[in-house]
């Protein structure tokens, strides 16, 4: 129901990379149902059509009011361009609240711009921690959560992390995972057959997504990772929708088309999840894919020493492995066979996170007192 008290409010969403879009879509929908005026800024951190634009269509997101087109570059170069571009947009748009998502450089830049300008902010997917500050994303998470006015947490461990860091409890709301809202809504559309036919993915196959700096930036690390993936490809065909980041380094290390290994362009949201849904195994270093496989019931091997999403290990299908362990871990996962989605998914991963977030934002915009009784698990 639309609330006339919200008619003068304006919420700006800052989206930069493909993981942001499925997190944002349920929030945008929830706020629209409450009558909140909104705008989306696409920073262009992911600038390939298949890395971003197609997500707007797949997820039903409205056209952005601005596309900054910052493109790639070093962390400093990209963040500097984002700071300048976002400052101009925020000053022009004068939002009541800016909502940021996840842990990408666009998220960090937006939170810094708004903190300097005195514009209130909300962080969706707050409280995740890998406790590994060598990961650029971990720095982005810590800074964003320290500066945000509203923090929306996906899993109970995030509450503990934020409390330990001294974030005031009245800013923190356990709402579940809005990215899972998008996945659950998309399930009826996730038919593996068309994308399998297009890619030639017949029978049992694996999907691999690889882009983390720790895995691809150093030649020796990239070579170790590629050798491990080739060990999986000896057991079943592996399809790699290859992120632009690190593509050349991985190719130099031997990640090229060969028997058992197919390098494909990035896929749209529905195509990618359809391919994953029909797979026997996923190999990844991505955060979001760990969550999506947890819901889809597909065995997931995460090639990282840690994860900011430990709930995917305790409640889902995810397992952390080193490159050296990957081939053997793949063999075991394949021998164990396909799993089924857990009957008890993580708390509040129920498809209603977006509306929970929207209700808290609407209450905040109205100036309602967000008392302790209205925080934590909301209906």
CA–CA distance, 20 with 288 (Å, rounded to integer): 10
> Are the C-beta atoms of residues 281 and 206 closer than 8 Å to each other?
yes
The helix or strand, by DSSP H or E, that contains position 192, with its residue range, turns out to be helix 192-199
Cβ contact 215:301 at 8 Å:
no
CA torsion sign, 167 to 31 to 140 to 311?
positive
Residues designated as active site: 211
Collect all residues with Cβ–Cβ distance below 8 Å to 105 and sequence separation of at least 6: 16, 45, 75, 78, 79, 82, 136, 140
Our measurement of the distance from residue 252's CA atom to the centroid of its chain's CA atoms, rounded to an integer in Å, reads 27
Q: Which residues does 216 contact at the CB level (< 8 Å), separation at least 6?
A: 210, 222, 225, 245, 246, 249, 250
Backbone angles phi, psi at 284, to 5 degrees: -150, 165
Tokens of 122: 């909300």
N-to-C CA span, the chain: 16
> Is the Cβ–Cβ distance between 26 and 182 less than 8 Å?
yes
Eight-state DSSP code of residue 51: G
């Amino acid at each position: 129901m639309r609330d006339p008290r919200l008619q003068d409010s304006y919420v700006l969403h800052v989206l930069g990379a493909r993981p942001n879009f499925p997190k944002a879509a349920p929030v945008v929908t929830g706020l629209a149902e409450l009558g909140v005026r909104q705008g989306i800024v696409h920073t262009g951190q992911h600038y390939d059509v298949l890395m971003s634009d197609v997500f707007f269509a797949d997820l039903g997101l409205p056209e952005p009011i601005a596309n900054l087109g910052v493109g790639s570059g070093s962390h400093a170069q990209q963040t500097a361009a984002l700071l300048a571009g976002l400052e101009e947009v925020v000053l022009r748009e004068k939002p009541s609240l800016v909502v940021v998502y996840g842990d990408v450089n666009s998220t960090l830049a937006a939170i810094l711009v708004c903190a300097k300008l005195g514009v209130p902010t909300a962080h969706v997917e707050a409280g995740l921690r890998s406790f590994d500050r060598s990961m650029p994303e971990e720095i982005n998470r810590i800074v964003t959560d320290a500066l945000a006015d509203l923090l929306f947490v996906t899993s109970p461990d995030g509450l503990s992390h934020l409390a330990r860091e001294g974030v005031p409890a009245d800013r923190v709301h356990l709402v579940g995972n809005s990215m899972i809202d998008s996945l659950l809504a998309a399930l009826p559309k996730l038919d593996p057959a068309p994308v399998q036919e297009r890619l030639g993915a017949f029978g049992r196959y694996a999907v691999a997504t690889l882009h983390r700096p720790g895995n691809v930036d150093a030649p020796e690390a990239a070579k170790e990772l590629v050798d491990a993936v080739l060990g999986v490809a000896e057991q079943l065909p592996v399809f790699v929708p290859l992120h632009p980041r690190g593509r050349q380094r991985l190719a130099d290390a031997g990640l090229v088309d060969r028997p058992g290994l197919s390098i494909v362009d990035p896929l749209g949201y529905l195509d990618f999840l359809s391919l994953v849904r029909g797979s026997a195994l996923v190999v990844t270093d991505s955060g979001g894919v760990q969550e999506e496989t947890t819901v889809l019931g597909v065995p997931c091997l995460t090639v990282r020493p840690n994860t900011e999403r430990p709930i995917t290990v305790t409640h889902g299908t995810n397992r952390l492995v080193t490159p050296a362990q990957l081939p053997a871990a793949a063999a075991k996962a394949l021998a164990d066979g396909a799993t089924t989605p857990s009957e008890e998914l993580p708390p509040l991963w129920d498809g209603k996170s977006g509306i929970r977030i929207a209700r808290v934002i609407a209450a905040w915009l109205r100036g309602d007192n967000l008392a302790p009784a209205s925080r934590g698990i909301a209906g």
